[in-house]
Structure 1
Amino acid sequence: MKGNILITGATGSLGKSVLNNLLKDFPSDKLSVLVRDDNKTTEFKNKGVTTFVGDYDNYNSLVSAFKTIDSLYFVSGSDIANRTKQHENVINAAKEAGVKHIVYTSFVRENETQNSPIATVAEAHLKTEKWLKNSGIDYTILKHTIYMDFIPMFLGEQMLDTGVAYLPAGDGKNSFVTRNDMAEVGAKILTSLEDHKNKEYDIINENTIGFKDIASQISEITGKQIQYVSPSQKEYIETLTKAGVPQEYIGVFAGFSEAFKQEEFIKTGTTIKALIGRKPTNIKEFLTQAYSKKQ
């Protein structure tokens, strides 16, 4: 039956959070998810949610799932090397299946050129936005800033032991938003699509912060002195290489660190409050939750 909403990436943190937000006041029999692994369908079926097995590489699986829905929450793929083609599959399958509205999770940015430190990451997003706008399908583009949830990953598991926050992000300030806040925004839009037809939103916080101040706040929260050290890109890459970090991860960490330094995520605004009726989670709240348990 048409009228359903389908969420891709439902086993991931963002997709699952969007689904859980929707289930608070939206009928489960109007919700569908796409999962890659048949072994991960049980939890969704137990919630009364229709489950389809498929992935962005399998075009026919996408068409089959999308034929049952009107609206799609399209979580951008995590396979950086292959996701441009994967995203093209999603858009084309949605067109073939007759999907009426797509909500796409893109990214906020300052630099759209090949000189961007995250140009490789950006490519699929930029192309997907263009494909969406030319598809004839109604769209809502959510330009997510950097996840606040990624801060502990960038600072490393050993930071509290070493007392050093080691990241080549310089003095750049950036806007961070929690994944849960982004999910709440997505769920709100999915239940009021007529108000968001063919619109783009910067999903950003009201304030910015740099990693030096982040380290200072973690020191205050944990009672452990944390020193922020911003090495050169060359030194950072060499250090991570010697530590045995896989090269693909080093490239991503280094690229995003340079993006932080260049303030690629500097935009601020009140979009989140306007959409969900409350201010986004602030950095102190998040860091307290993330690090108070690790003292």
Structure 2
Amino acid sequence: MTIAVTAATGQLGSLVVDSLLARVPASEIVAVVRDAAKAQPLADRGVTVRVAAYDDAAALVTAFEGVDKVLLISGNEFGQRLAQHQNVIDAAAAQGVSLLAYTSAPAVDTSTLPVAPEHLATEQYLATSDLDVVLLRNGWYHENYLTSVDAARHTGAVLTSAGEGKVSSAARADFAEAAAVVLTTDQPLKPVYELGGDVAWSQADLASTLSDVLGTPVTVNEVSPEEQAATLATAGVPPMWVDFTVATDASIARGELEVDGDDLSTLIGRPTTPLADSLRAAV
């Protein structure tokens, strides 16, 4: 069995490869990357490195030669991701891979998250293929809130318009381990996994956690979306990320990042990593 991981030197991909190396020989892993030099540490560990960008359809077909399973880690070029994902899917189909797992977003078919449309379109495209597909609908990463550590240190507050909405986040390594399990298990797989942390936390919980981590009081500064946007813009946040943050908080307020069930902890066979552990590691 040969397993290919796209974006294998990225933040999630590198962790997936680490988790795979604990389960299968390095000779069974193919790291698909844009930059061979960046992937040299993987090659040094015995992983096969193949260069193929998401925009290079022909290179992707070559990269998947002899591959049995593919993990398609969603791209990060917003607005271009659907076409890029289609290239990966088409290449996997051309090489007759037995399984393609895709990192999507929670409840993407009903979500208003700003990342949802391209994920949904990718899922819809996958449904038209002949591939066996597993959708890994990853919830929010703890690491998405590392910037909150610095902000809380300087302002003593969590700026939010998310109201009482909760977030079932987990460590990026938890999601990576889940992907590795899906790619290596002999057990029957579900077509869709809604993946989130064991604990759904509110903004008040985040402030409390930051208080413990920083050793100083942190409060919640609950504002309107308009006030949040104005404050972020004044702080120099680029307009794209102002819009993204405000829209994400609106989705949180609607409960769209509170993931029901225990798919993630069941897959990895242990409780998910507490938010405090990830934030404390950053400090």
With normalisation by structure 1, the TM-score equals 0.90
Say which of 268, 271, 276 aligns to 1:284: 276
Name the counterpart of 2:95: 97
Identity percentage of aligned residues: 31
Query: How does 1:48-67 map onto structure 2 within 5 Å?
Result: 48-67=46-65
Taking a change above 3 Å as real, the CA distance of residues 90 and 239 of structure 1, as seen in their structure-2 partners, is same
In the TM superposition, what is the alpha-carbon distance from 1:221 to its structure 2 partner?
3.2
Q: Whole-Å Cα distance in 1 between the matches of residues 35 and 226 of structure 2?
A: 39
Contact 2:197–2:265 (Cα < 8 Å) also in 1? no
Measure, in 2, the Cα distance between the counterparts of 1:269 and 1:171: 20
Q: Does the 8 Å CA contact 1:110/1:265 hold for their aligned counterparts?
A: no
Is residue 146 of structure 1 aligned with residue 144 of structure 2?
A: no
Q: Determine the C-alpha separation between the residues in 2 that align with 1:276 and 1:159.
A: 32
Give the C-alpha shift of residue 134 in structure 1: 2.4
**Partners in 1 of 2:279 and 2:45 — Cα distance?**
32
Distance 1:66 1:103 in 2: 14
RMSD: 1.8
Please say which of residues 103-112 and 143-152 is displaced more in the overlay.
Answer: 103-112
Cα distance, 1:200 vs structure 2 = 1.0
1:124-135 maps to which residues of 2 (within 5 A)?
124-135=118-129
Question: CA contact under 8 A between 1:163 and 1:225: conserved in structure 2?
Answer: yes
- Whether the aligned pair in 2 keeps the contact of 1:7 and 1:19 (CA below 8 Å) is yes
Q: Per-residue displacement from partner, 1:240-277 (whole Å, max 9, x unpaired)?
A: 22222211121211211211122111123222232222
Task: Give the Cα–Cα distance (whole angstroms) in 2 for the partners of residues 140 and 111 of structure 1.
Answer: 15
Q: Is the 8 A contact 2:140 2:170 kept in 1?
A: yes
How far has the Cα of 1:194 moved from its partner? 5.5
Equivalent pair of 1:169/1:257 in contact (CA under 8 Å): yes
Distance 1:134 1:288, change over 3 A: same
Structure 1 residues 47 and 200 mapped into 2: Cα distance closer, same or farther (>3 Å)? same
Q: Structure 2 matches for 1:1-295, cutoff 5 A?
A: 3-109=1-107, 112=110, 116=112, 118=113, 120-153=114-147, 155=148, 157-192=150-185, 195-196=188-189, 199-290=191-282, 293=283
- In 2, Cα distance between the equivalents of 1:138 and 1:129? 12
* Matched residue SS, 1:103: strand
Gaps of 5+ in 2: none
Specify every segment of 5 or more residues in structure 1 that has no aligned partner in the other structure, as ranges.
Answer: none
Is the partner of 2:8 in helix, strand or coil? coil
Matched-pair contact (CA < 8 Å) for 1:87–1:124: no
Secondary structure of residue in 2 paired with 1:64: helix
In structure 2, relative to structure 1, the CA distance for the partners of 1:156 and 1:277 (3 Å cut) is: closer
3-state SS, counterpart of residue 34 of structure 1: strand
User: Is the 2:195–2:259 contact (alpha carbons within 8 Å) kept by the matching residues of 1?
Assistant: no
Change in 2 beyond 3 A, CA 1:224/1:111? farther
Question: Do the aligned residues in 1 keep the contact of 2:149 with 2:210 (CA within 8 Å)?
Answer: no
Distance 1:150 1:205 in 2: 14
User: Which secondary structure does the structure 1 equivalent of 2:100 belong to?
Assistant: strand
The 1-side partners of 2:109 and 2:200 are apart by 18
Tell me how far apart the structure 1 counterparts of residues 91 and 249 of structure 2 sit (CA, whole Å): 35
What is the SS of the residue equivalent to 1:38? coil
Q: Distance in 2 between matches of 1:129 and 1:192?
A: 22
Alpha carbons 1:111, 1:264 under 8 Å: kept: no
SS in 2 for 1:61: helix
8 Å CA contact retained: 2:143, 2:171:
yes
- Relative to the length of structure 2, the TM-score reads 0.94
Tell me the CA shift for residue 86 of structure 1: 0.9
Instruction: Work out the CA distance in 2 between the residues paired with 1:199 and 1:111.
Output: 14
Work out the CA distance in 2 between the residues paired with 1:200 and 1:128: 14
Residues 41 and 111 (structure 1 numbering): CA distance in 2 closer, same or farther, change over 3 Å?
A: closer
Contact 1:73 1:102 in 2 (8 A): yes
Q: Could you tell me which amino acid in structure 2 is paired with residue 169 of structure 1?
A: A
Secondary structure of the 1:221 match is helix
Q: CA deviation at 1:287?
A: 3.6
